[in-house]
Structure 1
Amino acid sequence: MLVRIKKPAIFLMMLLSRIARSPQRIQKWDNWPGCTKAINYDVDTRWNSTFIMIERAEECRRQLKDTVNDELEIEALRLTSDDWRQLSNIKKILAPFNEYTEYISQDSLSIHMAARLYEELHSMLLAIRERQGDWKNLSAEATILVSDRISLLERYYDYVKCNDIYYIASILDPQIKTKWLKMLPDGEKIIVRIRAFLKKAYPAQKKPISTALSANYKSLEYRFLEAFQPIQYNISESDIDQYFDTPTISTGFDPNQSQTEFIRNWWKANKLEFPCMAKVAQDHLAILAAEVDVERLFNGGRDILGIRRFSMNGRTLGTLLRLKDAARWKSE
């Protein structure tokens, strides 16, 4: 059954591979009306390559059919209507993954949405497996494929559930705070746990109480004993409880503004009102949602370090990378 499900995607990949490896087929493909570029076939190390391959193939379905009609030796790779239906089901399942991976690939995206993304993906896969909601008309073959792979996502999802860093980051959005956590089955327990942890890890600031008298009024005995008296502190009320207990802020949502940037700017503006929570935000919002930025940085370094630049030192490379990044931000 699993081979039957994977067959359309395998046949499509083999067909695209045959086209890409023949200069004559590439030229013929470029001459087909509506074919502006080749279809990249599935690659294990490239995110969403299966989704992109199927999406592009559906756009060029007629051209692929004509290609097979002209090449008798690849007749065995012809895709039937049932194959295209299964490919459409696979694309529908992969669409949320494509959307979420594109989202976390943004520049300097924080982890404040990571737990929610994993929760939504996990709930979606369970709904697919049980064929519920929007997935009730999905073919039984496609649900088998999901059931076979859902354990892989659950490994990462279990890690997220056992790591409160993701939940702490999720409450740092002042427009949501604990609203999303309360929707989870054990949300109240999570809120109590992370509140206690934050109050312990980020205690309220202790300010010394000034009880010193003026030097003119200090007796000899007072001056002698003053050096041995313990310092008294005024422990201010923790702003962590204040942040948890106050309502969420209400602002107009700007679709053109990065939510990560909005959250960071909000904490910069309110760090005096919530000094402890501002430290929490400083520690957690600096964590990136994915390693895309790091990989992008290494790829940029590879582009700069050409064959004739192997003797470039690290300081020069760093300067060029910063200049390149500044120029990109300026152009945007």
Structure 2
Amino acid sequence: MDVRRRWNSAYDMISRFLEMQVAIFATLKSKELGKERESELKSFHDDDFSVAEEVIQLLKPFKDKTTLLCSEKSPTISIILPLHNKLLDKLCEQNADTPTVRSMKNIMFKDLKERFARIEHTLHIVSALDPRFKMLPFSSGNERSAVYSDIVLEVFRVQNIIKVKREKENKDAELDDVEVPSEPPLPSLSSLSDSPAVSSVKMRVKADVSSTSCGDCMESVLHSFLDDVYITEIEPPKSPNVIAEQQVNEYRSAQAIPLQENPLSWWKENEFKFPLVSKLARAYLCIPATSVPSERVFSTAGEILSAQRARLKPKHCKSLKESGKVGLKVNHEGSQNLMIFNT
């Protein structure tokens, strides 16, 4: 009835069947079908409709959440674990469940529980890097501590990678340096001291110094303008591990954002505040939760390119894809005409 990983069409079919059940019954009972086909038709009972309604009610959360995971404009891998835990809660047995629903729940719960077992810790890290779910409300205290400890190690690793990359760039820059021709030497001070211009400047400076006794004035000006930036002690340099831990703790203590906001926009605004953590978040949050976005690209390309339009240039294919939804219309002669529906 369905491809194993694409069961949504079955859900849509049963849902539409329930909506159109009156029309379906009227059609099955119509005389136009003929008495000779009555033996081939199977009638539906009330229990069949009850089971269909229960199945639809059970599968609706899965339908909504799989549709959400197919989004292309926001990160999706970070919401896998929150949705996964909510779906497990939905699959808990209730006293009012029928045997059919109870059996479905048991099978689905067992499959869903084991589905992300191998990458569950990675999904915890990704959810923690999403400012919407960084509190990890679906995890225990020990799990949260372990997750953020691993994030500190990941940030430390990123810091080392950046350090090695910069050292390599500096080494390459030194090798690429070209010897610059030397400039002619400047005249010595002894040769300039006897010039009339220098003598006049010395006389003016002496006159200014002698006419002003503003040592106290200068000190007050320095205090008034530079007192807040005057450094008396130099802070000792921090180790890379301490820097990583400090950034992670600051990110963890920052306020979470609402669910409707885009975490990528938040990281773009705060990347200078958390430079190392932001690089780690960028590496993880770019991963899509499903293969649907990439499959859409190939599906659209398959509608644009065909045996009848095999000579389209790449730039034209790109223009057609970006202009809107592409569809095909077959005329009565069997030839295909390209139709573009703007979104």
TM-fit CA distance, 1:65: 1.6
- The residue number in structure 1 matching 2:112 is 153
1:173 aligns with 2:130: yes
Aligned equivalents of 2:52 and 2:297: distance in 1? 35
Aligned equivalents of 2:157 and 2:145: distance in 1? 18
What does 1:201-240 align with in structure 2 at a 5 Å threshold?
201-203=157-159, 235=239, 237-240=242-245
1:58 equivalent among 9, 18, 22: 18
TM-fit CA distance, 1:172: 2.1
What secondary structure is seen at the aligned counterpart in 2 of 1:273? Answer: coil
1:137 aligns with 2:96: yes
| 8 A contact 1:198–1:240 mirrored in 2 | no
TM-score by length of 1: 0.64
TM-fit CA distance, 1:75: 6.6
Name the CA shift for 1:57/1:74 in 2 (closer, same or farther; >3 Å): farther
What does 1:85-164 align with in structure 2 at a 5 Å threshold?
85-110=50-75, 111-125=77-91, 127=92, 131=93, 135-161=94-120, 163-164=121-122
Q: Deviations over 1:18-37 (max 9, x none)?
A: xxxxxxxxxxxxxxxxxxxx
Aligned equivalents of 2:237 and 2:254: distance in 1? 32
Counting aligned pairs with the same residue, the percent is 20
1:194 aligns with 2:150: yes
Count of matched residue positions in the alignment of Structure 1 and Structure 2: 247
TM-fit CA distance, 1:296: 0.7
Aligned equivalents of 1:304 and 1:197: distance in 2? 47
2:253 equivalent among 242, 247, 253: 247
Name the CA shift for 1:65/1:234 in 2 (closer, same or farther; >3 Å): same
- The residue number in structure 2 matching 1:220 is none
Greater Rg, structure 1 or structure 2?
Answer: 2
State the structure with bigger RCO (CA 8 A, min sep 6), 1 or 2.
Answer: 2
Name the CA shift for 1:240/1:60 in 2 (closer, same or farther; >3 Å): farther
- The amino acid across from 2:18 in the alignment is E
- The residue number in structure 1 matching 2:306 is 306
What secondary structure is seen at the aligned counterpart in 2 of 1:84? Answer: helix
Specify every segment of 5 or more residues in structure 2 that has no aligned partner in the other structure, as ranges: 168-235, 326-341
What secondary structure is seen at the aligned counterpart in 1 of 2:66? Answer: helix
Aligned equivalents of 1:241 and 1:99: distance in 2? 39
| 8 A contact 2:126–2:281 mirrored in 1 | yes
Aligned equivalents of 2:134 and 2:140: distance in 1? 14
| 8 A contact 1:199–1:238 mirrored in 2 | no
TM-fit CA distance, 1:192: 4.4
| 8 A contact 1:114–1:289 mirrored in 2 | yes
Aligned equivalents of 1:308 and 1:196: distance in 2? 56
Q: Deviations over 1:53-76 (max 9, x none)?
A: 121111111112222223552675
Aligned equivalents of 2:86 and 2:256: distance in 1? 24
Specify every segment of 5 or more residues in structure 1 that has no aligned partner in the other structure, as ranges: 1-41, 209-231, 326-330
Name the CA shift for 1:75/1:66 in 2 (closer, same or farther; >3 Å): farther
Name the CA shift for 1:271/1:57 in 2 (closer, same or farther; >3 Å): same
Name the CA shift for 1:149/1:273 in 2 (closer, same or farther; >3 Å): closer
TM-score by length of 2: 0.62
Q: Deviations over 1:173-204 (max 9, x none)?
A: 224313335x3485235424423432332237
TM-fit CA distance, 1:81: 0.9
